[in-house]
Amino acid sequence: MPQLTDAQLTERLTLIGGSDAAAICGVNPYETARDVFERYMGGKPPKPQTDAMRWGILVEPLIGAFYMEQTGRCLQFNTATIRHPVYPFMGCHVDAFQDGGVVEIKHTSRKLKQKMMPYDYVVQLYHNMIVCCREDGTLVVAAGGRPPIWQDFTITHEITTWMITIERKFWDAVQQKKWEVFDGSPSTT
């Protein structure tokens, strides 16, 4: 079962990961860009793993197996830390790869509206696609005890440019140890 090592968890403070990207972009409902910045500055402890988070990790392989059974697609699970070859401050732990694309697997108690994928999950997938230099990705989400649903995504040049720009600006602020507003959303001010 894919698990991050203690060294990988520590390494997360040396790069912007997918869930950090969602907060930096102002779409994470649980954490703000300011929270992420304070964590990098050492003023806020790392997020402790909750039972719900642990459960999500445990059921990821089952969700992936269901997805493979339903789609006929083959997943290659991954535990390695991956860094972008040009922007090494961007990194990720991809759940899986398939046919040249990135797969992000989620288990949530959230109710999905009209099978619409949560923005923070989409931004995390986009971040991981950018880090892995892949244009295609799939988000697989099991919500509220229901069977998983999935959606394929293709990233655009505009989204890639916007995300690299905002993440670079955030990383520069971390390096300079100087907070500033990143996306203009109320959660970051």
Q: How confident is the model at residue 188 (pLDDT cuts 50, 70, 90)?
A: very low
104-135 pLDDT tens trace: 999 988 888 776 899 999 999 999 999 999 99
Phi, psi for residue 102 in degrees, rounded to 5: -95, 140
Determine the pLDDT at residue 78: 84
Q: Do residues 39 and 12 make contact, with C-beta atoms less than 8 angstroms apart?
A: no
Distance CA 58, CA 82 (A): 22
What is each CA distance from 118 to 1, 35, 55, 80, 141, in whole angstroms? 25, 20, 19, 25, 9
Confidence grade of residue 12 (pLDDT, cut at 50, 70, 90): confident
Average pLDDT, rounded, for the chain: 88
What band does 180 get if pLDDT is binned at 50, 70 and 90? confident
pTM for the model stands at 0.89
Q: 89-110 pLDDT, tens per residue?
A: 999 989 999 998 999 999 988 8
Amino acid 184: pLDDT: 47
Q: Whole-angstrom Cα distance, residue 142 to residue 92?
A: 21
CA–CA separation, 39 and 98 (whole Å): 33
Q: Where are the alpha helices (DSSP H) in 51-180?
A: 51-71, 119-131, 157-176
